[in-house]
Structures are given as C-alpha cells and as structure tokens.
C-alpha cells in the first residue's frame, strides 16, 4: 500500500537528502518486512533481496530486542488494550524510548502519537 513512498524515502535517506542520516529499525521489523514481502510477492528471491539490502545498508541501524526490551514491550502491550498497537509496535516504542528517538517513520500515526512519538510518513 505504501511501498512506492517507502522506497523513495529510503532512497532519499541513502543519498543523504534528508535531515535524517540514519534510520533505526529492529529485528522484529526486519522479520515483518521480509515475511510480508514474501507473502505479497510470492517470491523468495525478492524477500532475500530486501533482507540483504536492509542488513547491508549503511543508512539503517539494526536494533535487537533483548530480554529487557521484550519484558518492557510485553508490559506496554498489556497496558494498552485500547490502542491498536501490535506487539511489534510496542517493541519499536520501547527501543525508540531507550535511544531517545521521538520521530518514527511510520504510517501508524494514530497508534504512536498517544505514546508521545511524532509520526513521519514521508521525508
């Protein structure tokens, strides 16, 4: 749905054409991206290409959900029953807070705004 916009944004970041020089993502988001790509395209090669591009990118920093982040994410997930946050969204929020990140590149603005984040859907 937002694929074309996302590709353009990643290209801009890679060329240094935004005020953001690094993009942070997590192993959980990587999992969702690779799995979603394979499901939508039915092409294993496309999902491998996507995963390889993310893992080798100089603009993308991969964060890992450790035990503490997992526990904090689970607590946030349980507390936010009224929100549409997935467990992966909760891990994103926890990791972002840990690093002092307030701007999130996401199309789920309504989900992250109540947590104090600024959602950015294009750059």
C-alpha to C-alpha distance for 1 and 109, rounded to whole angstroms: 15
* pLDDT of 26: 97
Whether the Cβ atoms of residue 37 and residue 50 lie closer than 8 Å to each other: yes
CA atoms within 13 A on the CB side of 90: 19
| pLDDT confidence band for 10 (50 / 70 / 90) | low
Listed in sequence order, the residues at least 6 apart from 96 whose beta carbon sits closer than 8 Å to its beta carbon are: 24, 102, 104, 117
3-state secondary structure of 60: strand
Question: 53-94, pLDDT tens digit by residue?
Answer: 889 988 889 999 999 999 999 999 999 877 788 999 999 999
User: Where exactly are the structural domains of the chain?
Assistant: 3-120
pLDDT at 6 over 70: no
Question: 35-58, pLDDT tens digit by residue?
Answer: 998 998 899 998 999 899 889 988
Percentage of the chain lying above the pLDDT 70 cut? 94
Overall CATH class of domain 3-120: alpha beta
H or E, element range at 100: none
């Amino acid at each position: 749905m937002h694929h074309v916009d996302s590709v353009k944004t990643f290209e801009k970041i890679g060329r240094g054409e935004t005020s953001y020089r690094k993009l942070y993502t997590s192993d959980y988001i990587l999992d969702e991206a690779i799995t979603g790509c394979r499901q939508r395209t039915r092409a294993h090669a496309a999902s491998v290409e996507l995963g390889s591009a993310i893992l080798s990118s100089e603009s993308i920093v991969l964060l890992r959900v450790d035990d503490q982040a997992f526990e904090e994410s689970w607590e946030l997930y349980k507390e936010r029953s009224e929100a549409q946050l997935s467990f992966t969204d909760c891990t994103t929020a926890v990791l972002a807070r840990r690093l002092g990140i307030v701007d999130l590149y996401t199309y789920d603005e309504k989900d992250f705004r109540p947590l104090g984040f600024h959602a950015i859907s294009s750059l």
